[in-house]
């Protein structure tokens, strides 16, 4: 086994030991085609008020701007599909937010993985990223052979669907590279397009972020949600899984083995009345390690009032 094969085997073994279900590797290079798509998406204002999407454009499309001398982009998938679900009639919460904040969980795993690589291989420089830095994770996952970009904009893995977190580790180490995933298995299926409550999914594999329920319930920092969206949220209070729930490929999803993603009991069992009477102190205590803290207590209450069709001015803190 030559050094490149040996180092690649070390990395794949470390990924599996840390609980990542898939590990794909692509050669670090500028993403010219993806740059054009991103530029077009931004020019149409589909980022809404997410101005951070407009920043660091060059960093998003060129891994060597993030890690000088970058040779390889390692993409890792971590399953988050839960083994339990919310009670009926409860305000809906996206499955990715059932347990501990994935940023905390995956960041720790990436740090451990890089430290292990350095201890086993030697002086390797690299950086790990998980949804909080200018990296086009889905593009790299496709290039690393892990799946295709579906019509709903999600990475879809042929074996296990799309309920995965995507993590990226960029290193200045040459490795064996996987073949890009070349086929699109969405075919003529339009289930996600037809099911989207706000018509945010367009025909050409483009998602209008400014119309997505996840945008309104998580990213939008305004005190009020546009009235034109009233009655279109289908009960979603934080995020939205509709396009994934209807995807035929997610019939292959299986429950995660990551204990950190075990559902918070209150999240599963709270009724809409219990959410409505929740105090800010209790919210902070229960959800201190949850992705829900991103919307903050005031945001959750705003969303709750909106899906209950109550006057938004009545929401606490407004």
Catalytic residue among 131, 179, 184, 194: 131
Calpha distance 267→314 (Å, rounded): 23
Beta bridge partners of 129: 168
Query: Is residue 308 classed as helix, strand or coil in its secondary structure?
Result: coil
**5-18 as b/e: b if 16+ CB within 10 A:** eebbeebbebbeeb
Q: How far apart are CA 282 and CA 292, in angstroms?
A: 13
If residue 167 lies in a helix (H) or strand (E), which one and from where to where? Answer: strand 164-171
User: 93-97 long-range CB contacts below 8 Å, 24 or more apart?
Assistant: 93/236, 93/237, 93/238, 93/239, 93/267, 93/292, 94/214, 94/236, 94/238, 94/239, 94/240, 94/241, 95/163, 95/241, 96/163, 96/165, 96/239, 96/291, 97/238, 97/239, 97/267, 97/290, 97/291, 97/292
Catalytic residue flag (residue 178): no
Q: What is the DSSP letter of 157?
A: B
CA–CA gap between residue 130 and residue 105 (Å, rounded): 10
Closest CA to 114 of 165, 169, 60, 58: 169
Query: How many Cα atoms are found within 13 Å in the side-chain-facing hemisphere of 221?
Result: 4
Residue with tokens 């993409």: 75
Q: Quote the DSSP letter at residue 218.
A: I
Give which of 170, 147, 171, 149 is closest to 33, Cα–Cα. Answer: 149
The catalytic residues are 131
């Amino acid at each position: 086994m030559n050094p490149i094969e040996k180092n690649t085997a070390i990395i794949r073994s470390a990924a599996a030991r840390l609980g990542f279900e898939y590990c794909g590797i692509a050669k670090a290079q500028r993403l010219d085609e993806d740059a054009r798509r991103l530029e077009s998406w931004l020019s149409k204002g589909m980022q809404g008020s997410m101005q951070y999407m407009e920043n660091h454009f060059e960093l998003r499309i060129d891994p060597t701007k993030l890690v000088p001398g970058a040779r390889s982009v390692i993409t890792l998938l971590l399953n988050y599909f839960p083994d339990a679900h919310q009670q009926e009639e409860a305000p809906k919460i996206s499955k990715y937010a059932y347990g501990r904040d994935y940023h905390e969980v995956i960041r720790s795993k990436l740090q451990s993985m890089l430290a292990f690589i350095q201890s086993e291989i030697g002086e390797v420089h690299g950086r790990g990223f998980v949804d909080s830095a200018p990296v086009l994770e889905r593009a790299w996952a496709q290039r690393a052979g892990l799946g295709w970009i579906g019509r709903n904009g999600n990475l879809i893995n042929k074996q296990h669907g799309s309920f995965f977190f995507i993590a990226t580790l960029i290193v200045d180490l040459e490795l064996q590279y996987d073949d890009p995933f070349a086929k699109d298995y969405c075919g003529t299926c339009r289930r996600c397009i037809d099911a989207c409550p706000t018509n945010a999914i367009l025909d050409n594999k483009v998602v209008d972020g400014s119309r997505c329920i996840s945008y309104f319930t998580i990213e939008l920092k305004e005190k009020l949600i546009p009235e034109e969206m009233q009655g279109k949220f289908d009960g979603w209070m934080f995020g939205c899984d509709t396009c994934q729930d209807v995807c035929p490929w997610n019939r292959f999803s299986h429950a995660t083995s990551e204990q950190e993603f075990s559902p918070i009991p209150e999240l599963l069992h709270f009724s809409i009345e219990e959410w409505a009477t929740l105090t800010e102190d209790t919210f902070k205590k229960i959800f201190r390690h949850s992705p829900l803290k991103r919307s903050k207590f005031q945001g959750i209450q705003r969303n709750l009032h909106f899906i209950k069709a109550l006057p938004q001015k009545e929401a606490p803190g407004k």
